[in-house]
Amino acid sequence: MTTSPLAELSAHVAALLARIDAATTLHDLLAEEPFIIGKRSILSTLQKSLGALAPEDRKAAGALLQEARRGVDEAFMTRREGLERENRAAALEADRLDLGDVVVSQVSVPVAVGHPGIVSATQRELEDVFVAMGFTVSDGPEVESDWYNFEALNIPPAHPARGMWDTFYVDLGEPETVVLRTHTSPTQIHLMEQAVAAASLPIHSVMPGRCYRRDTPDARHLAAFHQIEGLVVDRGITFADLAGVIETFTHAYFGSDISSRLRPAFFPFTEPSAEFEITCTICRGEGCRTCSLTGWIELGGCGMLDPAVLDAVGIDGEEWSGFAFGFGIDRCAQMRHQIADMRALIDNDVRFLRQFS
Ligand code: PHE
């Protein structure tokens, strides 16, 4: 007759209970856990050996073992809870303020949590739409040289188009050589220069950021405002790609009932150029005061990259072509949230701002 593997069971259980008692800190107890109730416990080893028993003996042995395990588990948990309670009490005692009879009872006032402003939130949403279309997001400086803001964009010093941008000049070095950028288009130049230097064409990127013009603030203009620029330089890019990107963006951002249309326009750095308009979001195309009864609202400019711009950055216009677009982020926020006066965006009136959390 073979001896049952459970012959020594009660001795094992007693040894495990003694181990539980011997652990005086939570840390010690948890370190013992695998050996007492875990996989490396003698009880787990015994469990496996039950397979060697004759089938008729197995059931009774299994029940015996189960009961032993339950007892050990319970003792372990009870000890664990006791040690945890002791730890908590010790921590509270250590933190106690000894003020004699004074009772400390601080009332906590709920803290108002801030949230991104409408323009930042709009910028992020616009970035998300373009990232989903395969664009990267890039950044450029707000203080620019005349070359990046104008010349490289085919706007030479005496060009009448400079009149389109009432410029803030920065008093640094030669007069009228350093400017606060009047649009995000100079970032196109930085990006193309970097891509040429790194031989990393093509480019599919959007460039959001702050711009400045000497505009008197009114319901639709701010002197510091935000634009998002788009630039694609690749092989075989056509005007149809440009129109497709604008239309896809318009649906993705404003909704499927808002469409875009392009109207001939002039920009020195694109040829041909267009202004793009979207269905008026106030009247949904019916015609209202905001859209001067046309049903359309102008959002920005766009066009195919002018060969002179590609030349300025050293890109071969025979091999590469591309398009650019740029439009106002503040204007988008205004259209999307139907904000009558853009100056509300910079008033910092919390009653206004809270509506957009
Ligand atoms: N930079 C132009 C503006 O601010 C917009 C534009 C961007 C036009 C890119 C064409 C291409 O008015």
* Residue nearest to ligand 1 atom 7, measured at CA: 326
Measure the CA–CA gap between 192 and 270, rounded to whole angstroms.
15
Q: What is the mean pLDDT of residues 149-163?
A: 90
pLDDT attached to residue 103: 67
Q: In this model, does residue 294 exceed pLDDT 70?
A: yes
Share of the chain above pLDDT 90, in %: 69
Structural tokens at position 74: 């319970």
CA 276 to ligand 1 center in whole angstroms: 11
* Residue nearest to ligand 1 atom 9, measured at CA: 325
pLDDT confidence tier of residue 3, bands split at 50, 70 and 90:
low
pLDDT attached to residue 1: 45
Atom of ligand 1 nearest to the CA of 325: 9
Q: Is 267 touching ligand 1 by the criterion CB < 6 Å? A: yes
Q: In this model, does residue 136 exceed pLDDT 90?
A: yes
CA 316 to ligand 1 center in whole angstroms: 22
CA 224 to ligand 1 center in whole angstroms: 16
pLDDT attached to residue 289: 85
Global pTM value: 0.70
Q: In this model, does residue 274 exceed pLDDT 90?
A: yes
Q: Is 331 touching ligand 1 by the criterion CB < 6 Å? A: no
> Helix or strand or coil: residue 235?
coil
Q: What is the mean pLDDT of residues 197-208?
A: 97
Q: Is 230 touching ligand 1 by the criterion CB < 6 Å? A: no
Measure the CA–CA gap between 133 and 203, rounded to whole angstroms.
13
For ligand 1, mutation pick of 154, 164, 183 (most atoms within 8 Å of CB)? 183
pLDDT attached to residue 222: 92
Q: What is the mean pLDDT of residues 190-215?
A: 96
Return mean pLDDT, the chain. 92
Q: What is the mean pLDDT of residues 205-218?
A: 94
Q: In this model, does residue 102 exceed pLDDT 90?
A: no
pLDDT attached to residue 73: 94
CA 99 to ligand 1 center in whole angstroms: 68
Q: In this model, does residue 2 exceed pLDDT 70?
A: no
Q: Is 270 touching ligand 1 by the criterion CB < 6 Å? A: yes
- The residue among 293, 291, 290 whose CA lies nearest residue 341 is 290
Q: For the segment 32-69, what is each residue's pLDDT rounded down to a tens digit? A: 999 999 989 999 988 888 888 888 888 888 889 999 99
Q: For the segment 61-101, what is each residue's pLDDT rounded down to a tens digit? A: 888 999 999 999 999 999 999 999 999 999 888 877 767 77
Q: In this model, does residue 321 exceed pLDDT 80?
A: yes
Locate tokens 């890039």: which residue?
138
Q: Is 320 touching ligand 1 by the criterion CB < 6 Å? A: no
Q: Name 61's Cβ contacts closer than 8 Å, sequence gap at least 6.
A: 4, 5, 6, 50, 53
* 272 φ/ψ sector (left φ>0, alpha ψ -120 to 50, else beta): beta
pLDDT attached to residue 193: 98
Tell me which of 5 and 306 has the higher pLDDT: 306
pLDDT attached to residue 282: 85
Q: Is 303 touching ligand 1 by the criterion CB < 6 Å? A: yes
Locate tokens 């959001």: which residue?
208
